[in-house]
Structure 1
């Protein structure tokens, strides 16, 4: 009996690979480790994290995502809706990794626990959606300045 297979995690790649691998041979890449660079990067990330967690604006969202209510709701949601909604609309069956707010918290914090505002997405689709939403938010912000 052969191992179960799934699609390569690279966005758009339709290559079937063994379940214990993440990427196909075409998309597999290993960057050489530079420990000096890694230590510097860690210090920068640590500083950014502390700035975010202590900022008045960001800390509200960080506290919410660490809350017991959100952890329980998101875990239950993933159990009930295991497939990525965005991929499913395109005819691809891919495991969902993230419970996403359709209307982002930054746009409407009151919908943070609203089940009608949730969807399951894979990491790839979630990152694409987040990038688009961030660009829209920055565009609105720049339009308000003028």
Structure 2
């Protein structure tokens, strides 16, 4: 079977062959990777600056102690009843119901996959209604 000749680097003005699995030569691939890494860092930095003030609630000692105690009392995921609980979740989200943030009846112990699944379902429901996704 014939071997395909290497492509030329996609960077304008460069006539070197590209590296296997890439569209750029080694020099330009390194430059693009460095730019991409910087862009990701900037995106994460910007995201963290825009985080809601409500996220500070999850760093308080009262929440950390209540969350740990709740998971100690309910060590198994309340959704699937199979896995160990990793996360104490609010039934009614803290962002929309901050007054229920420390209410025992508004908590549930979930494993990470169930927490993500429930969060995705809430996000999809929100998008269908035309509202933004819960963060």
Matched, 1:70 2:63: yes
The residue correspondences of 1:1-146 to structure 2 (distance < 5 A) are 36=34, 37-52=36-51, 58-59=52-53, 61-88=54-81, 93-140=82-129, 142=131
Distance in 2, Cα, partners of 1:138 & 1:106: 17
125 and 95 in structure 1: CA distance in 2 versus 1, 3 angstrom threshold: same
Q: What is the TM-score of this pair, normalised by structure 1?
A: 0.60
Structure 2 stretches of 5 or more lacking a match?
Answer: 1-31
Q: What is the TM-score of this pair, normalised by structure 2?
A: 0.64
Superposed displacement of residue 42, structure 1: 2.1
Distance in 2, Cα, partners of 1:42 & 1:109: 31
Q: Which has the higher contact order (CA 8 A, sep 6+)?
A: 1
Cα root mean square deviation, aligned: 2.0
Structure 1 runs (4+) deviating above 2 angstroms are 34-40, 134-142
137 and 109 in structure 1: CA distance in 2 versus 1, 3 angstrom threshold: farther
Superposed displacement of residue 40, structure 1: 2.6
1:68-99 residue CA offsets vs partner (Å, 9 max, x unmatched): 110110011112211111111xxxx2111110
The higher radius of gyration belongs to 2
